[in-house]
Amino acid sequence: MELEFLYDLSKDIENYKRASKSINNKMPTKMQSLYIAQYGDAFEDRKLEAFITTYISEQGLIMPAEAERIRMSWRVIEQEFLKRVEQIFGITCPLDVVRVYLTTDGRCSYHTEQGYFFVSVTRPYQNRTIMHELFHFWTWWVFHEEVESGRMTKEQYNDVKESLTELVNVECSDLLGDVHDDGYPQHQEIRAVVRKTWIETKDIKRVFEVATKLVLSA
């Protein structure tokens, strides 16, 4: 599996529109707030294009160079992370290429079915974002039938898959460096259970089952 890092203005626009509707955090990001102050709270393509291109120009960002910088930083830990995540979930990546689009927003969305996610150039620690988002991909590849079967709603699955990223802290703390995957405040109880269950069992299916029961009983 190869990660392809690139910038596409239309994808950046897409990310703003999707990230502004986040169910995990209703508060606008810093960049979304700047947009709203200038253009109002409707995220429209034409206005987003003007906002983003102006920001890139004013900041002197060279997006292909930013993509290469992030790619080179990721390469340092890539193979070790992939080895660990494959061991955790018990499968290799089913895709030859996963695309990583740069965004100027501070919140990053993803699309497992189409094989891409976003990483922010306006926030530090891109490797943490990459590991976090790839955990979402692996979680979907292994457990997507739980949603498709109707056992849980998309919102309930969201709580479970966000909580499973606690395992980035458990199994990849050395790859994270000096940062931590904190998750969202509303998921802290489930994250603690995920950590405990994983340390006790090292069984991702058991971890998912325990986290799911906790979410469904809420």
Share of the chain above pLDDT 90, in %: 91
Tens-digit pLDDT profile for residues 80-108: 999 999 999 999 999 999 999 999 999 99
Helix, coil or strand: residue 152: coil
Instruction: Give the amino acid at 204.
Output: I
- Residue 7: the pLDDT is 99
- H and E: helices and strands count for the chain: 11, 4
Q: Which helix (H) or strand (E) holds 3?
A: strand 2-6
- Residue 150: the pLDDT is 87
List of the chain residues with pLDDT < 70: none
- Residue 209: the pLDDT is 97
Q: How far is CA 73 from CA 47, 96, 126, 210, in A?
A: 32, 20, 9, 35
For the chain, the structural domain boundaries read 2-216
Rounded Cα–Cα distance for residues 4 and 98 (Å): 6
Q: Tell me if 94 sits within 8 A of 141, measured CB to CB.
A: yes
- Residue 147: the pLDDT is 85
- Residue 50: the pLDDT is 99
